[in-house]
Chains A and B, each alone.
Chain A
């Protein structure tokens, strides 16, 4: 009896002694990403971006090492994402949840972040509603509504009065459609037709023909980046000679994202899009990002806005760790995140203290060749855009 209580005491003492030693433990970041399956390109971009940040800034912050624990959701799989988050929280005891390329995966994990009081950094998923699902979510990417509204305003300003909309039939697509319609019609524009195409849709020909027959001045599209759809749409658009019929193509930057732009050939030249990041953005931060990215991913692999999301997510995590002296606590971390300013490769970004969504500059860009390669060249900017979807 006596003996066992002595050993219990010893054990307790050992535990107490272990606490300061715990500071030597790495800061664990659980990355829930789409590393295989149809969206594997997305997961790879985000992870490369995050690793590039670590490479450029060293793998220790506030005296603690930073460790990424990568888990693969295999695609849009809420059940798997939820299970992976559970594992990360209970087994690995992570300090941050991060990643999330796709909305459904982020939504599935949100309640767990609240329950475990773990800060959850959204590096890509762009549906407005995500940040309302948990007080512990902060987003460093963008929302579809945020980049769509400036496009509608630009279209009106450029004399476009009638638009046909075509979007993918899921959360972000519907956000884009709703925002575009609202902004465009409020300013006196007319929507002559709208269609939502299924996420799995290998054939755009009939939709394109329908648009051509409706003779709008422009067609607005949102299709998920890093998939075959923007390429297929662009090809069809050129094949059917919609441009020769006087129909302009305007889109969110997902459609002409930097990673896929080269495989589209000459068809997207002249297409106008709005987005928050372009590889061609001129700034010291972007140059540093591109250099570090090439070191991680290899030369010739083009990063896109998702990679920047990964980079900025890590920037936020480093900042939190530095401010809290390496002692990560969920609630304190959220206080640091609210209102945080990040000097991103895309330009400055502030996390809105109220919605925990980014407030940032949205750029109007045109696809152009620079030194023989296609880029989204920014020619106008709208500063401090908040998410209008809330």
Chain B
């Protein structure tokens, strides 16, 4: 009984962490930069395809393949920010939605053209697959890996955003671009880097997610609800909010499916409704 409880808790945290990893890029572009970036999943999909392809064509090991996944998505973000996104920073949210949903459909069409509509999958290295027994509970190795990556990433991002000059520049540029510009911050450049970083994180999340979520051209639409759920419930003021939200949703979802499988699939949405009623500004909101 206790061990099954611990098992459910672990699975839930790991699932939550996966939700966080595929959404963390969005909490940079939507959360931090306040741009309704519905094309987030397209960057994730790009990272996923890059990871799968460098692994299968050039036999790059999985961990090394995560690097080009990040870089490719970041570069794509850099270019698209330059030619498209930049024009709409001051546009209405509706304009941003229209632009990015259009980009999403284009990405789906391009991916179908290049790779076909079928599922892609990758083979994990031995040391990341299988199970490990810890305190009598069977824990999945890849899920432990996801948890570890999530923790490291959160710490690193928090350090950058809260304690570095660059982090301060981003926050200043978002809060008041005119004053930031007057203080000598190159707002355009800061935004460009931040957007590329957010896109890169999306790519990384996409690559990490292939094993659990699968990968096909409709990826950006299939999981858009989950990206938005995490950021909406978590709040947009910090990275902590989406992290807590993702972990909470993960645990509730897995526990629901385990203990009451008849309604398990709806619990995550019920939880979202409750949390948004209780805390409409998100779990961790701006003071």
Residue ranges of A at the interface with B (Cβ–Cβ < 8 Å): 36-38, 40-41, 44, 195-198, 200-203, 205-207, 209-210, 213, 226-228, 231-232, 235, 239-241, 259-260, 263-265
Contact = CB atoms under 8 A, between A and B. Distances in A.
A17 to B, nearest CB: 46
B285 interface: no
Given A232-B212, A240-B131, A207 B257 contact: yes
Contacts, number: 100
B111 to A, nearest CB: 11
A209 B121 contact: no
Contacts of B112: 36, 40
Interface stretch (B38-46, B177-185, B214-222): B214-222
B142 to A, nearest CB: 7
B4 A213 contact: yes
- Pick the 3 closest A-B CB pairs, nearest first: A228-B214, A40-B117, A206-B257
A232 B142 CA distance: 14
13 contacts: A38-B218, A40-B117, A40-B218, A41-B116, A44-B116, A195-B262, A197-B261, A202-B212, A203-B15, A203-B253, A205-B140, A228-B214, A240-B140
Nearest to B117: A40
Nearest to A40: B117
Most buried by B among A36, A206, A226: A206
A207 B260 CA distance: 10
Given A200-B222, A240-B131, A207 B118 contact: no
A263 B15 contact: no
Interface of B: 4, 7-8, 11, 15, 112, 116-121, 123, 129-131, 138, 140, 142, 211-218, 222-223, 226, 253-258, 261-262, 264-265
A232 B214 contact: yes
Contacts of A40: 112, 117, 217-218
A38 B222 contact: yes
A205 B15 contact: yes
A37 B218 contact: yes
Nearest to A198: B265
A332 to B, nearest CB: 37
Given A195-B262, A240-B138, 20 more contacts: A36-B117, A38-B216, A40-B117, A40-B217, A41-B118, A195-B261, A197-B265, A203-B253, A206-B258, A206-B264, A207-B261, A207-B264, A209-B11, A210-B257, A227-B119, A231-B119, A232-B212, A235-B211, A240-B131, A241-B131
Contact of A205 (B129, B130, B254): B254
Contact of B131 (A206, A210, A239): A239
Nearest to B258: A206
A219 to B, nearest CB: 14
B277 to A, nearest CB: 24
B226 to A, nearest CB: 8
A264 B131 CA distance: 19
B117 A41 contact: yes
A116 B248 CA distance: 54
A125 to B, nearest CB: 18
B218 A201 contact: no
Given A201-B265, A228-B214, A241-B131, A206 B255 contact: yes
